[in-house]
């Protein structure tokens, strides 16, 4: 094995909650009469909640206090969490589950490295609440990707050196974060076309070849 551990981003890698993020942010944007579409939503991938709201506010004509911003982001999260209750183990694809089991069976440690503060809730909905060896998420970091903090903390929780960890990401900012942290990165989805990852995966199961 080339690595001792694999650190996964959550949304877009282990599961897909884009539609719930979109619906929740659209609720807030509509309330504020701010134009919001899929193009803007794509800019929010891998970005913290408050930074996402700042992007949405680029088209807001008025001024907003920090207290108001916090209130709106909390309202968005409440809508989002309500939508997440629709998730279940059925949302975990057989390919992802089988690949995780093969990696674990090969002796690799597995961790989550996600900017989301809802990571543990989502994992619980998927039936993976206690599956991973470590979880680093938006609750234990102060800087979002492309800063490497979330991945470095995951490696720390696993008691592994960054160089011995492979990150799996679907967003360019996440790939940049992995590289900034001294980690190799396997890119999937849109990130596979950014040209800076160590491995570009066509499918999640390709990961089994990347780690050998």
Q: Contact, 153 vs 136, CB < 8 A?
A: yes
Q: How far is CA 96 from CA 14, 38, 73, 77, 123, in A?
A: 7, 26, 31, 26, 13
Query: Which of 37, 178, 21, 13 shows the shortest CA–CA distance to 100?
Result: 13
Q: Contact, 203 vs 184, CB < 8 A?
A: no
Whether residue 11 lies in the annotated active site: yes
Query: Which of 9, 137, 170, 184 is labelled catalytic?
Result: 9
Coil vs helix vs strand at 21: helix
Pairing verdict, β 109-113 and 5-8: parallel
Query: Which of 11, 137, 170, 184 is labelled catalytic?
Result: 11
Whether residue 9 lies in the annotated active site: yes
Instruction: Supply the residues annotated as catalytic.
Output: 9, 11
């Amino acid at each position: 094995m080339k690595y001792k551990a694999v650190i996964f981003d959550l949304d877009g890698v282990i599961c897909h909650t884009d539609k719930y993020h979109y619906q929740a942010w659209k609720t807030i944007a509509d309330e504020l009469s701010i134009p919001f579409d899929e193009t803007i939503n794509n800019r929010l991938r891998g970005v913290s909640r408050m930074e996402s709201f700042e992007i949405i506010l680029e088209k807001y004509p008025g001024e907003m206090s920090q207290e108001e911003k916090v209130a709106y982001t909390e309202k968005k999260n409440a809508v989002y969490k309500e939508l997440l209750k629709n998730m279940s183990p059925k949302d975990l694809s057989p390919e992802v589950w089988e690949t995780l089991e093969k990696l674990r069976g090969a002796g690799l440690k597995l961790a989550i490295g996600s900017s989301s503060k809802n990571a543990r809730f989502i994992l619980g909905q998927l039936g993976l609440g206690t599956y991973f060896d470590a979880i680093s998420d938006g609750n234990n970091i102060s800087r979002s990707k492309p800063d490497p903090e979330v991945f470095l903390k995951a490696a720390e929780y696993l008691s592994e050196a960054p160089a011995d960890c492979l990150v799996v990401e679907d967003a360019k900012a996440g790939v940049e974060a992995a590289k900034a942290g001294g980690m190799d990165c396997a890119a999937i989805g849109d990130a596979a076309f950014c040209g800076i990852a160590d491995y570009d995966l066509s499918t999640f199961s390709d990961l089994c070849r990347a780690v050998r």
